[in-house]
Chains A and B, each alone.
Chain A
């Protein structure tokens, strides 16, 4: 392992141990700005770790970013690692990021599905779900992006444990989901929630389970447009944006529908880049370009959150 975050290879994919070591390294070198919080344990007992970037204060308004809830989407976890370094490097140098951190805490969950991620590195590169056992079925795992208490069980998820979009037996049945739910509720002051997936080149906002429009649709749409423009400006990567149900498909029990219904207005989900050639097997050479273009869009959303208190 590298001895500092400077020598860490951000242009390569890393396994769970390496990413968790990186998080410790980050905290060890910068304990005034970043700390590690364990918000729960996965089904198989792995710690669920979140990085907290904070310049002080208590229960400040916060921005949440998570990457890799679908374990096989490796470019998202790799982007999460890059974001951590970017936040650290930017504080005190980048005026806009500094002002965000002077007013908000940022929570970053780099490996949202640790069991699934470990499984992709050891047994099945294409694993997407959690690793929980399903009573009465030999099929393993729940789609953690169908397991939230927002339209749970409605169209756009499956009741069959053997499918990739199995919703689970009940909302929050997955400890990986429950940990975030408990954290968000207990925190109570999260103002933006951004959940990052790959790949389809989309920036989406609620809703997914219903065709009703979000109350803040106009603002969410305008902000999405601005974020996508920033993203595209770097490498020309084309994104579409809109509500989940109108842009891709009906999906019930999804993360940002739940966060939006909890009152987190700026709830977004990304689908990162896809060249149309590799899908989940995006070559490591594309990690940095993907992460750096996504960072620009994240900054737009974070700046807007800072400038539009509610």
Chain B
């Protein structure tokens, strides 16, 4: 079973089209194994991306060094998955 321990979901707010393009650069870096839940489109829409633990530092440094604002939407994805499983098993029981 795939686990998501330490994975975070970041909500990125690109201020302009230039920053959107910078985030698209991230999207192209396959080794980061990013999973875009909401893709970079234009600055009006926030971007949500699941970042594996190993890529977190690199992604955050990239965003900060380019002045791109972000917040942590989900602190630890696995804990939410665990909560969901627990809720389902309780309901089932």
Residues of A within 8 A of B (CB): 9, 12-14, 122-126, 162, 164, 200, 248-249, 276-281, 283-284
Contact = CB atoms under 8 A, between A and B. Distances in A.
A12 B91 contact: yes
B54 interface: no
21 contacts: A12-B88, A12-B91, A13-B88, A14-B88, A124-B2, A164-B36, A200-B45, A248-B45, A249-B39, A249-B41, A276-B73, A277-B73, A277-B74, A278-B73, A278-B74, A278-B80, A279-B37, A281-B77, A281-B80, A281-B84, A284-B87
A277 B74 CA distance: 7
A38 B46 CA distance: 39
B11 A12 contact: no
A162 B1 contact: no
Interface of B is mostly: mixed
Interface of B: 1-2, 4, 9, 11, 30, 35-39, 41, 45-46, 48, 50, 73-74, 77, 80-81, 84, 87-88, 91
A12 B73 contact: no
Contacts of A14: 88
A9 B87 CA distance: 12
Given A164-B36, A284-B88, 14 more contacts: A13-B84, A13-B88, A124-B2, A125-B81, A125-B84, A126-B2, A200-B45, A276-B46, A277-B73, A278-B73, A279-B37, A280-B37, A283-B84, A284-B84
B48 A279 contact: yes
